[in-house]
Chains A and B, each alone.
Chain A
Amino acid sequence: MSDSEARPGPRTKPRRRPPGLRAAPVARDPAATLSGRVATKTALWAVFRTEILGLLRDRRALFSAFVLPTLLYPFLFLSNSWLAKFSKDVLDARHVRVALDTRAMPPAEASRLRDLLADEKPIELVDVDATMLLALGAGLESGATVTTAEREHVERLLEERADVLVVARHLGFAPHLALRTYFDGQTDIGNEAERRSRRAIAKLRGELQTQRVQDVLGEDPARGLDAKAIDVASEKEASGAKLGQFLPLVLVFVLLAGASYAALAAFAGERESGTLETLLVQPVHATSIVTAKFLAVLATGIVTIVLNAGSVLLSLHFGLGSMPGTGLENGIILDGVRLLFAAVLFLPAAVFLCAVLCLVCGRARTFREGQQLLLPLLFLSILPVLPATQGDVSLDALLAAIPLCGPSLALRDALRGQVALGLSAWMFVAQSAWAWWALSRLAKLLDAERVVQGVENEAETEARNIQSRIATRWAIVAVFAVYLVGATLQKWNIVWGLAATLWLLLLPLALLSARGTARRARESIGEALWIAPPRIVHALGAVCLAPALALAAKVLFEWQQRVLPMPSTQGDITLFQGDPGDHTWAMLALVALSPAICEELFFRGALLSGLRRDLPAWRAVAINAFFFGAVHMSIYRFLPTAILGAVLALLTLRARTIWPAVILHASYNGLLVLEGENVLAIRPVFAFAAVIGLAAFLFARGRSVKNSV
């Protein structure tokens, strides 16, 4: 054949013919190929092996993920302890001058003190006259506070002669004689001088006490009182507890650091290099490919953890060094069974974290984009681990169900040797459920449609989100306006300031924002603010939901108090002086009605309606909740208000008007105002009401409103 042979045409004969490309013509059976059915196990292993091989051949990644951290800990510990020893030796060798005024002491005791001090070599004793200091009344009280006059006096004495000043004085009461040591705690030498004086004084006190006991009780001092504090926690438990407080944090950090490289390479990197599309046309289910890649990420993460944790634990175990500030100065005692148990408890968390890592990296189109997502992920993952670093936050059923939080608390408790079996089992189940959820999301990750069509122009999509972007900008303006202007107004006068913030700041912002939305969408402001009349069922449903929601907020707040205790100064703000009963109506108007109207008009009206025009419902609700939480100006109120914001936003989307949210918001705040009168005590009725309220929203949808996507 060749139609093209017949016609003259622009044709370039290749100048160089690559050898061997042309094969002899063969007749073939059209369907016959070498390809056959491949067992899932074989495919899994092939993908897994290739992932690991790629990682192992990346020397830089290998070095920074595995080798460096593993060697780093012993090195860090060694150099740390060497430094500590070095500075101790230097300090021990330092010449210390002690200024003494022992005139108030009996001569025998004074000379004994001098002898004991002289033993703390190298030391020099200088006699000083501290009469002026004593005249100021220094050392009369047992507390360690000093007046400015005393401080100046001591500084003058120290500056001239010595690093520490030891003064004896008479007391008019038992024990009649006092020794006061003054030193400058900011200098190493001052501390060292104080340490040596303290040792000498302690010895002297011991001798004097033994003497007194003998004097009073006769020849047998054993009949006296021998007091000693004994830590009943075994050394094993003590070191386990100390380790348990910081190990979860290290584990999460190290897991993310190690596994993130594998996840980036397996998903974002492969997408960037163009191999993912090829992989997806192989006769293997995409699920198998994802599974194998996930397993490679998990394996990398676990190996990193084992190497790092092993390195830390062994370094500490062999007393290679101390961890300053962690209480592990004297090394730790390892308990293999406990460590193994702790590792098992942490396993679902590792699976969950690796799956989330894969999800994040799978969304990224390039390596760099993936890297940018890792830092936020790191912060988000470290947050729920923080409670475990606090010794007194204990594992309970709710905390156990929170991803990463439950496992880290359980890990801590397991290392302490205080395992609540039931709770640990519940934690394991709940965390496995989280891991399962993440894995099931992962199965859809390599959906080919998304992979090949996700390559869209960022700038174009951004331009299309004009409504939601402008609405978000107004929300940022509102939050800052409330922070700056509102807070100032409220400092000036809490009642009028609050009223002005709501009616003169938030309300105009809502109208301005909605005016823009309305203009762009060619609607009236009312339509843009979603203020169409509600259905009766929704209005009633909102009232029914209020008590349960207020109660839930109370419970949530009480729970939050344990994780994030609120300082007492941040607590209740008194709006009106005097008996609260006198001002109930004013309170209701100011704290219930005004916020309900103004905040709803801004957040559920202007903001949510703007967001919902471009964004899927869940994202609009999430952004809405975030800003609603943020505007309340307190980290302690963020979570409760953000959740309230999400509920109000959902109701608004369902009802297609903000009025149910206004009603719920007003009754919710109203109940919190009246809470002093214990209105929230009748619980079963509230639960019943909540069910009715929810049903109202579940079974009835709002009248359709133009432009609510």
Chain B
Amino acid sequence: MNTTESAIVARGLAKSYVDPKRGRVDALRGLDLECKQGEIFGLLGPNGAGKTTTLRILATILAPTAGSAMVAGVDVTKDPLEARRRIGFLSGTTGLYPRLTPRETLRYFGTLHGIEKEKLEARVEELIDTFSIRDYADGRCEALSTGQKQRVSIARAVLHDPAVLILDEPTTGLDILASSAMIEFIDAARGRGTCVLFSTHVLSEAERLCDRIGIIHRGTLLASGTLDELAQATGKEWLEDIFLALDREARASNGVPER
């Protein structure tokens, strides 16, 4: 495995847990995934396919039952703290502390990342400028609009200049303005050499942003590649059709009846 080439390498990831009520749940069954440096990779799949579980394992929130994952050259199960230093994580449900100001929020997470004081101050100012937060940098977060909050959240996620950004359905629940800001941001990350792995079920987002796309279903990666590669493999032109074709194929091979 070449760490200078691949920002994320996951091999045979499996996650099952025993829910006291439901019994054994297999969320992931042997998922392989590889994302290159500076690449934008979109993870597509229906609800319950295992997108969130995959991203959480890669972000060290969950431990895999089997398999291994390297993120920015660090094994996430062996050294989760080191991995967290190289990952920026943001999910659709991420919130902000209502009674802290954006500036304090950034300082807080910067401190938790162990950034030295002078460096941190400079970085916070830089982010406030980059994300145009200055106007409301010293007001409480509870008073911010959804779009403003989103900017602060993004600034928080890239505060430590991570090599890998993991975004779990980052545009879910955002209005057009806020989600377009998010899309702009992801697009911009490409230029900085950051690897972005994000999940979505908005196909147009994936079409527009992604260098490569992975289709995930029932805990495995059905296919991955550029849009062209996927189109060739399935003989379909539109991502929506590609997705449906792959889904149908998978159901047929699993013996699951069509919906």
Contact = CB atoms under 8 A, between A and B. Distances in A.
Interface of A: 1, 3-4, 6-7, 9-12, 14-28, 30-39, 42-43, 46-47, 50, 53-54, 57-58, 273-275, 277-285, 448-449, 452-453, 456, 460-461, 464-465, 614, 616
Interface residues of B, number: 81
A449 B210 CA distance: 30
Nearest to B213: A3
Interface in B98-115: 98-100, 104, 108-109, 111-115
22 contacts: A3-B227, A3-B228, A7-B227, A20-B131, A24-B191, A25-B191, A26-B192, A30-B73, A32-B161, A36-B114, A36-B116, A38-B111, A46-B112, A53-B100, A53-B104, A54-B100, A274-B93, A278-B94, A281-B87, A283-B113, A453-B19, A464-B21
Contacts of B46: none
Contacts of B37: 30
B129 interface: yes
A23 B239 CA distance: 29
A23 B204 contact: no
B217 interface: no
Contacts of A285: 81
Main secondary structure on A side of the interface with B: loop
B7 A30 contact: yes
B62 interface: yes
A40 to B, nearest CB: 11
Interface in B142-194: 151, 156, 159-163, 177, 180-181, 183-185, 187-188, 191-194
Contact of A282 (B17, B113, B193, B204): B113
A282 B177 contact: no
A255 to B, nearest CB: 23
A47 to B, nearest CB: 8
A20 B130 contact: yes
B89 to A, nearest CB: 4
Closest 3 interchain pairs by CB?
Answer: A38-B114, A274-B95, A14-B180
Contacts of B130: 20-21, 23
Interface string B8-31: 000000000101111000000000
Contact of A21 (B131, B156, B162): B131
Contact of B115 (A26, A27, A35, A614): A35
Nearest to A49: B108
Nearest to A5: B208
A281 B193 contact: no
B193 A32 contact: no
Given A35-B86, A46-B111, 6 more contacts: A4-B208, A11-B208, A35-B161, A36-B113, A36-B116, A284-B112
Given A9-B204, A54-B99, A278-B94, A46 B108 contact: yes
Nearest to A10: B204
B85 interface: yes
A15 B176 CA distance: 10
Nearest to B61: A448
B255 to A, nearest CB: 26
A14 to B, nearest CB: 4
A18 B182 CA distance: 10
Contacts of A50: 97, 100, 104, 108
B63 interface: yes
A460 to B, nearest CB: 8
Contact of B123 (A26, A34, A37, A452): A34
B91 A277 contact: yes
A31 B95 contact: no
B132 interface: yes
B163 A21 contact: no
Nearest to A24: B191
Given A283-B84, A283-B113, A273 B95 contact: yes
Contact of B211 (A1, A30, A43): A1
Contacts of A47: 112
B192 A274 contact: no
B119 interface: yes
Interface string B203-230: 0100111110000000000000011100
B129 A20 contact: yes
A660 B226 CA distance: 68
Nearest to A9: B207
A645 to B, nearest CB: 24
A697 to B, nearest CB: 26
A453 B56 CA distance: 11
A281 B227 contact: no
B4 interface: yes
Contact of A16 (B129, B180, B209): B180
Interface centre among A274, A283, A460 (most CB of B within 10 A): A283
B95 A281 contact: no
Contacts of B100: 50, 53-54
Contacts of B207: 4, 9-11
Contact of B73 (A7, A28, A31, A54): A31
A103 to B, nearest CB: 82
A53 to B, nearest CB: 7
B93 A277 contact: yes
Given A21-B185, A25-B193, A275-B96, A7 B86 contact: no
Nearest to A27: B193
Contacts of B21: 456, 460-461, 464-465, 614
Contact of A275 (B19, B97, B119, B180): B97
A334 B37 CA distance: 70
B47 interface: no
Interface-central residue, B85, B123, B204, B211, by most chain A CB under 10 Å:
B85
Contacts of A31: 72-74, 86, 163
A464 B17 contact: no
A39 B188 CA distance: 33
A596 B239 CA distance: 70
Given A16-B180, A25-B192, A34-B119, A43 B204 contact: no
Given A31-B86, A50-B97, A21 B184 contact: yes
Contacts of A14: 180-181, 183-184
B176 to A, nearest CB: 8
A281 B226 contact: no
A43 B85 CA distance: 14
Contact of A34 (B63, B113, B156): B113
A34 B204 contact: no
Contacts of B125: none
B13 to A, nearest CB: 15
Interface string B111-142: 11111100100010000011110000000100
B82 interface: yes
Contacts of B187: 22
Contacts of A35: 84-86, 113-115, 160-162
A7 B227 CA distance: 10
Given A20-B131, A23-B191, A32 B163 contact: yes
Nearest to A28: B193
Contacts of A461: 21
A33 B162 contact: yes
A278 B130 CA distance: 22
A36 B109 CA distance: 12
A42 B181 contact: no
B86 to A, nearest CB: 6
Contacts of A39: 114
Nearest to B151: A18
Given A22-B184, A28-B163, A34-B123, A53 B99 contact: yes
A6 to B, nearest CB: 8
B48 to A, nearest CB: 13
Contacts of A283: 81-82, 84-85, 112-114
B111 A17 contact: no
Contacts of B193: 25-28, 30
A301 to B, nearest CB: 20
Which one of A39, A47, A282, A460 has the greatest number of beta carbons of chain B within 10 Å? A282
Contacts of B56: 452
A401 B81 CA distance: 40
